[in-house]
Structure 1
Amino acid sequence: MPVSCSAYGCKNRRTILSKHRGITFHQFPKDPGLRKAWILAFRRLDFKPSNKTVLCSDHFMQADFDRTGQTVRLREGVIPSVFASFPYHLKRVST
């Protein structure tokens, strides 16, 4: 069963094509504080991620990744911040 990004409006799925395009998939963190920060950034009402829920690399800045090894990893403490497909009522004004 293919893995799909769980962000609102994102259609990325883990396939051979997405791998060739450089899209990676990252599970929600196990640390409760960081997990809560991801959920707040996610902005989905009553959303409770499972242990298998993932976000694709399109929702992170390039500086958020550690690409020094064979495996692309997120840097410690990173929070997803790129959500271009939010509907108007979910877009938040930065203060």
Structure 2
Amino acid sequence: MPRLCSAGGCCTRDSRETRNRGISFHRLPKKDNPRRSLWLANCQRLDPSGQGLWDPASEYIYFCSKHFEENCFGLVGIRLKEGAVPTISESFSKLHWITKTKGPSFPSGPQSYLI
């Protein structure tokens, strides 16, 4: 099964073409990793009921490199640094990203994020 980016609104798929363009895919940290909650908050997806943040049961959830800042990558440019968190979104600019030092900051009013 091909890898697909799980960030809200992103349709990037792992293929020869995307690899040739320098796009890499990175697995969501495991449930016991504290960074997992930051990744999930930043992926801009709600759970199927629409009541909370999405928390997938699958261990095979990926995010493409387009959602990480340049300084998140090591010297090779493909491997993520230890504390890397996705912070770039292409489709939902109203959501303020969660970082390692700040808490969640969501816009007020009704939220209409796509799943």
Bigger radius of gyration among the two: 2
| CA–CA separation in structure 1 for the residues paired with 2:75 and 2:59 | 24
Q: Compare 57-66 and 39-48 and name the one that shifted more.
A: 39-48
Task: Say what the alpha-carbon RMSD is for the aligned residues.
Answer: 2.1
What residue is the counterpart of 1:85 in the other structure? 91
Q: How many residues align?
A: 90
| TM-score normalised per structure 1 | 0.82
What fraction of aligned residue pairs are identical, expressed as a percent? 40
Structure with bigger strand share is 1
Counterpart of 2:55, as a letter, is K
2:44 is matched with: 43
How is 1:46-61 mapped onto 2 (pairs within 5 angstroms)?
46=47, 47-49=54-56, 50-61=58-69
Contact 2:69 2:88 in 1 (8 A): yes
Between structures 1 and 2, the one with greater helix share: 1
2:100 corresponds to which residue? none
Match of 1:3 in 2: 3
Structure 2: gaps spanning 5 or more residues: 48-53, 98-104, 106-115
Runs of 4+ aligned residues of structure 1 deviating over 4 Å after TM superposition are none
1:21 aligns with 2:21: yes
- What residue ranges of structure 1 are gaps of 5+ in the alignment? none
